[in-house]
Amino acid sequence: MSLLDCILNLAGLLLWLNWVAPRLDSVVRVSAASLAGTLTRAEDFRPRRDRFFLSLVLLVVGRGFLYWRIGPNVDWTAHLQMGLVAISFRSDFLLRMLCYSGLSFLLTLATFYLWLLFLSALNTSVPEKDSVQKLVRVHLGWLERLPLAVKWLVPFVVVALAWLALQPLFSWMGLIPRLQAREQLFEQAAVIGLGSYLVWKYLIVGILVLHVLNTYVYLGNNPFWMFLNTTARRIMGPLDWLPLRVGKVDFAPLLVVAAIFLLTEFAIPRAFALLYGQLAL
C-alpha cells in the first residue's frame, strides 16, 4: 500500500506539472535539443489544461475512497511524515483517508518545489544558458526572484506555518495529543520547521551518486549531466581544501554521502526528537 501511495503521488505530481505547463511560456523558447525543449508548446496544451486539474482532483479524492475500502482488509495504517513527526491515519475512517490523501499529495508537491528551491539557491550564479537550470527557475516562478538568504529560509518558514495550520486539525481529529499551552504550538512549529531541511538529503545523495557514475562511466554530453556535475561540485565546494583525491579517485562524494547519512539518520533526528518530546510535555 505504501508503494502504491508513492506511485499515485508521483502520478499526481505529473498531472500538476502538466496543468501548470501552459503558464511556463518561456520554456517553449528553449532549444528542442535540451531537456526542457522536449515539452509541447503551451498553446497545444491549453485546451486540455482543465482536464489535468480535474484528473488530479479525481485522483486525490478517488484514492481516499480506495484506501478506506481496502486499507482495513490489509491492516494498513497510513503515515504522513512531516519532517521529524509522523502522523498516523487509521484506514477505517473515510474522513481521515480523504484528509491523508490530500495532505500526502501536498507534501509530495512541497518536496518537489523545495528541491527546486535548493537547486536555485545553490546554483544562483549559473548562467541562463544552462537549459536545466533555466527550467528550474521557470518552474519556481516568483520564488526565483527572492534574495538568496530568503531562499534558504523558505523551508523553515513554509513548514513552520504548515504546522501552525495543521496542528489544530490533527488535534481535533485525535491524531496527536492536545497541547497544554499555546506557546507549545509555536515551539513545536519552530522545531519542525528546522527539521524541514532534511527533505534535501535524498536530492543531495542522488546528485552525488549520479555524479560519481558519470565521472567513471561516459554517459554522453547531455545538458542534464553537465548540470548535474556543476551542482555536485558546488555541493562538495566546502571540501575543496581537503586532500581527498588519490590519483584519479575522488573521495569527496563518498565523504559527503557518509556525513549526510550519519547526520540525518542518527544525530539530527535523535536531537530534534528529544527536543520535540520536551516541548510536548
Please give the pLDDT value at position 237. 81
Please give the pLDDT value at position 48. 67
Please give the pLDDT value at position 121. 92
Give the domain range for residue 182.
Answer: 2-280
Q: Specify whether the CB–CB gap between 199 and 111 falls below 8 A.
A: yes
pLDDT along the chain (281 residues), means of 10: 91 91 56 45 58 93 93 89 83 92 95 94 84 88 91 94 92 85 84 88 90 80 86 85 74 83 76 67 45
How many structural domains is the chain composed of? Answer: 1
245 DSSP 8-state letter: E
The dihedral built from the CA positions of residue 142, 148, 152 and 154, taken in this order, carries a sign that is negative
Residue 220 zone, left/alpha/beta (φ > 0; ψ -120 to 50; rest): left
Q: Which residues of 161-198 are buried (b: 16+ CB within 10 A; e: fewer)?
A: ebbeebbeebeeeebbeebeeeeebebbbebbbbbbbb
pTM over 0.75: yes
Q: Collapse the DSSP code of 146 into the 3-class scheme (helix H, G, I; strand E, B; otherwise coil) and give the result.
A: coil
Please give the pLDDT value at position 44. 52
The dihedral built from the CA positions of residue 239, 241, 243 and 246, taken in this order, carries a sign that is positive
